[in-house]
Structure 1
Amino acid sequence: MSITTKYLKSDLFSGLVVFLVALPLCLGIALGSLGANASPFPGIISGIIGGILIGYLSKSHVSVSGPAAGLIAIIVTAIGTLKQFDVFLLAVVIAGIIQLILGYLKSGSLANFIPNNVIEGMLAGIGISIFLKQLPHAFGYDKDFEGDDSFWQPDGENTFSEIFKALDYISIGAVTICIISLILLILWDKYKIQDKIKFMPGALIAVIVSILLNVAFEGTAFEIRAEHLVNLPVFNSFDDFKNVFVFPDFTAITNYQVWVVAATIAIVASVESLLCIEAADRLDPQKRYSDPNNELKAQGLGNILSGLIGGLPMTSVVVRTSANINAGAKSKLSAIVHGIFLLLSVITIPFLLNKIPLSTLAAILLLIGYKLASPKLFIKFYKLGWYQFLPFLITIIGVVAIDLLKGVLLGLLISIFIILKGNLKKAYSFDKEELHDGDKIIIKLAQEVSFLNKAAIKESLQELPANTKVTIDATETVYIDHDVIELIEEFCKFTSIEKNIKIKLKGFDAHYNLAHHESLNHITIKHKS
């Protein structure tokens, strides 16, 4: 997909907004993955590559890639297993190669089998997680990094306990800046001020105002401490910058644990990326289609390069993507711009960016979370009925209370259960609601009757009253599973005789062998014409 400059102005500013959201995410995910004493720069490397390289290679118009919170637990475990970071980087390179192969094998089409109610539930669940996770930052309590979406924390806390704990550490300055930022953002959106004041998105205004307020609050009761501000590494020399790059140890290529870690990263990162671009296509106002197989190739190349120069593994990320769309992104140029801003910022203006309060970024994410989990969405699926609403709701609960992948899996399982249940009901129909002795009953089979329908058909046949006349009609049936044929045959040979039930079979072809039993002389058989 070629890069277009048709929407240059809107893409420049949406890229800037995504950069402001992505910056603390990159830093926080690096700290969560590597520990507080390690350099957070591997997260920045991943964000830059995710923006520039994957942004260029991907055929998704609005998705944004970078380090993902969903990979933190895998990274921590992997480094603990492999002992050395450079060996872990080799696993990242191999993971990228696996993703590249999966793309060429066209494995991305698997994402098309996820129903829309599960995708929408995933988005709403992420929205709720984002909203809840930003409340402590809004209060000025930054124990967990910005953008963390895990319900259970390593310190034993969880999303809700962190919120209550934050109430004991309220920073007046942080709360004030968050409230002012929210007011600016809401007014900017409500009155469409951006349409009147061109090239000035609300998020950018909120950030500029927050920096000015942070400076104004210095030396007062509203002063915001350093731990509540963006914390970008500052390089004092070229050697400082050069030393942050680490290269993989290729001598560990024969270590089977490296391959296990690589396969794990490749699978999880691929699934998360595919889910994200599905979600991105649904959020895209223009409803454009993204090629999932191309996305796997792009993600693979991105992870290969990230591993080669010391970066974390990456995926397409819903938080960045939704921020991108909400900021008005029209093309992939926005993702590339955000990557360029990340690169330039760490080289030129880290001292300025380090004055941005985390509470103003929390305000931006609070609104993003609210829009993803809008009450209108819940009403929409509730009105569609329980078959649509239940998988949607279960997915939300799973994403919020466990994690994204397990939440989606729960939603899929519920959807499959509902499909099977519906399939059981549709396998046949009665012409009567209440059954009595002596009735004439027609059991009409559906087009396809599988082994999954066996239990329901068996129960219905067993409940038929004595002395009835029963027609089992298969005239419109294309396929009947052999197990169901045997079940009907056994009913005809034994149960129907015991209960004096006269049976007429319509549409059962002779090769079903129902006509070749002497014990079936009480049955009328009509073959398909």
Structure 2
Amino acid sequence: MEFHILDTLPVLREIIVEGHFETGAIVISLVSLGILILWQNTRLKECNCLPGALVVVIMGVLLNDLFSYWHPDWVLSGGENGHLVHLPESIVAGGFQGFLGELRLPDWPAFLDPEIYIIALTIGLVASVETLLSVEVVDKLDPHKRSTPLNLELLAQGAANVLAGLLGALPITAVIVRSSANVNAGGQTRMSAFIHGVLLFLAVAFMAGILNLIPLASLAAILLMVGYKLARPALFRLMYAGGWNPFVPFVVTILAVLITDLLTGIAIGTAVGIFYTIRANFRRSIQVEREGEAYLVRLNKDVSFLNKAILSEALNQIPQGSRVIIYGSRADFIDLDIQEIIREFQVRAYKNDMELEVRGVQPADARG
């Protein structure tokens, strides 16, 4: 299910205009945030045996139970559209047998439906992008600063998704919430991820009734804290300090993901990033340095016809009577249009009493 920030507008209207909100959910979310902040900023965070997120979940269940004695109107209800975790009733009532009953064999005739392949390609792209983003963040969180083999990660995810599809399960992907929880709990090897999966399996298969008591408000508070850690204000200040080239694609990507979806947002952000990268390379291809009445015009990397306007503007701003050096030894390629501009500038320099020296450009091209 994709999340769009526009989808929240009807909910916000209900809360603000109609005054429709769940007091119990607000209380639980505020208490949960308070516990997480306390856990993060005190010595409690050193207690790896009892993660703050687990304390939040337990506290949320206890608070919702206490509401039935203190404020019955605050009690959060379950069900498909309720405010608690909702696992199918067949698993809750039937236990492990009910869990096995939820498994479905593939619908083999569906392989002849072309729409299936479009959906599969979309899911594959979205899952791969989400996994790669999560891997990049987890590598930064890793205290040993190891690098995850991306090809192996995607290969393992693809194999797991094939197996999940054969069992009628949802596609899987790396998720930063569980991954960061694994790192914060002291996980060091791949075995921690395997044990994590086994615990999830056992919890759903044998503890579905207990899981259905967990308030979504507690889980939302955990997500808020994880999101804040990954996008602190200091990160925005750091990106802004780096200039417009990294900052604009960064902000555009965030807004595009929130307004559209993950895949579209990443595509828009990538396109904007490519534009600013090309723009920066154009500007770096030609540099002008001034010392008194002397000007040094450097031609760096490949100088193509796309840099023609930048070079013309730079040369036109040099006043009469100046000493100018055009240095092209660092350039691997100088387009004919650029050479033509240099030849034209040579003529203009002679008429304007400029002292011009051209280095690193072939004499025949530079002097005509």
TM-score range, shorter chain: 0.7 to 0.9
CA drift of 1:308 comes to 0.8
- The 3 A distance-change label for structure 1 pair 189 and 268 is closer
CA distance in 1, matches of 2:334, 2:316: 19
Question: Superposed, which structure 2 residues align to 1:339-418 within 5 Å?
Answer: 339-418=197-276
Q: Is 1:217 paired with 2:67?
A: yes
Aligned partner of 2:56 in structure 1 is: 206
Equivalent position amino acid for 2:34 in 1? I
CA distance in 2, matches of 1:496, 1:188: 70
CA drift of 1:264 comes to 2.9
CA drift of 1:305 comes to 0.5
Aligned partner of 1:115 in structure 2 is: none
Helix, strand or coil: the match of 1:228?
coil
Q: Is 1:165 paired with 2:20?
A: no
CA distance in 1, matches of 2:39, 2:86: 28
Aligned partner of 1:38 in structure 2 is: none
- The 3 A distance-change label for structure 1 pair 430 and 337 is closer
Contact 1:218 1:224 (8 Å CA) reproduced? no
Contact 2:245 2:280 (8 Å CA) reproduced? no
Contact 1:203 1:364 (8 Å CA) reproduced? yes
Contact 1:424 1:453 (8 Å CA) reproduced? yes
CA distance in 2, matches of 1:386, 1:355: 47
> Residues 47-81 of structure 1, C-alpha deviation per residue, up to 9 Å, x if partnerless?
xxxxxxxxxxxxxxxxxxxxxxxxx35xxxxxxxx
CA distance in 2, matches of 1:259, 1:328: 40
Aligned partner of 1:457 in structure 2 is: 311
CA drift of 1:239 comes to 6.3
Question: Superposed, which structure 2 residues align to 1:370-519 within 5 Å?
Answer: 370-432=228-290, 442-461=296-315, 471-489=325-343, 491=344, 504-509=357-362, 513-514=364-365
CA distance in 1, matches of 2:73, 2:361: 86
Aligned partner of 1:190 in structure 2 is: 41
Aligned partner of 1:7 in structure 2 is: none
CA drift of 1:290 comes to 0.4
Question: Superposed, which structure 2 residues align to 1:89-238 within 5 Å?
Answer: 149-153=3-7, 157-158=8-9, 162-163=11-12, 165-166=14-15, 168-193=19-44, 195=46, 199-218=49-68, 220-226=72-78, 227-234=82-89, 235=91, 236-237=93-94
Contact 2:256 2:264 (8 Å CA) reproduced? yes
CA distance in 1, matches of 2:138, 2:52: 22
Helix, strand or coil: the match of 2:235?
helix
Contact 1:150 1:403 (8 Å CA) reproduced? yes
Contact 2:33 2:221 (8 Å CA) reproduced? yes
CA drift of 1:291 comes to 0.6
CA drift of 1:374 comes to 1.8
Contact 2:49 2:185 (8 Å CA) reproduced? no
CA distance in 2, matches of 1:188, 1:441: 59
- The 3 A distance-change label for structure 1 pair 184 and 425 is closer
Contact 1:228 1:357 (8 Å CA) reproduced? yes
- The 3 A distance-change label for structure 1 pair 355 and 407 is same
CA drift of 1:410 comes to 4.0
CA drift of 1:162 comes to 2.8
- The 3 A distance-change label for structure 1 pair 460 and 294 is same
Query: What 5-or-longer segments of structure 2 have no aligned partner?
Result: none
> Residues 252-286 of structure 1, C-alpha deviation per residue, up to 9 Å, x if partnerless?
44444333333333233222222221122123333
CA drift of 1:453 comes to 1.8
Contact 1:398 1:410 (8 Å CA) reproduced? yes
CA drift of 1:359 comes to 1.7
Equivalent position amino acid for 1:426 in 2? R
CA drift of 1:465 comes to 6.4
- If asked which structure has higher relative contact order (CA below 8 Å, sep 6+), I would say 1
Q: Which moved more, 1:174-183 or 1:284-293?
A: 174-183
CA distance in 1, matches of 2:253, 2:195: 33
Equivalent position amino acid for 1:355 in 2? L
Q: Is 1:262 paired with 2:120?
A: yes
Cα RMSD over matched residues?
3.5
- The 3 A distance-change label for structure 1 pair 460 and 304 is same
Aligned partner of 1:332 in structure 2 is: 190
Contact 1:229 1:354 (8 Å CA) reproduced? yes
CA drift of 1:317 comes to 2.1
CA distance in 2, matches of 1:222, 1:471: 78
Helix, strand or coil: the match of 2:6?
coil
CA drift of 1:446 comes to 2.5
Contact 2:297 2:327 (8 Å CA) reproduced? yes
Aligned partner of 1:139 in structure 2 is: none
TM-score by length of 2: 0.80
CA distance in 1, matches of 2:112, 2:348: 65
Q: Is 1:293 paired with 2:141?
A: no
CA distance in 2, matches of 1:242, 1:430: 71
Aligned partner of 1:57 in structure 2 is: none
CA distance in 2, matches of 1:505, 1:216: 84
> Percent same amino acid at aligned positions?
37
> Residues 453-505 of structure 1, C-alpha deviation per residue, up to 9 Å, x if partnerless?
2221233445666787755332443332344335445x369877998988653
Contact 1:420 1:452 (8 Å CA) reproduced? no
CA distance in 2, matches of 1:357, 1:417: 44
Equivalent position amino acid for 1:176 in 2? V
- The 3 A distance-change label for structure 1 pair 366 and 261 is closer
Contact 1:492 1:503 (8 Å CA) reproduced? no
Contact 2:286 2:310 (8 Å CA) reproduced? no
Q: Is 1:303 paired with 2:153?
A: no
CA distance in 1, matches of 2:6, 2:143: 34
- The 3 A distance-change label for structure 1 pair 419 and 348 is closer
CA drift of 1:429 comes to 3.6
CA distance in 1, matches of 2:185, 2:120: 35
How many residue pairs get aligned? The number is 358
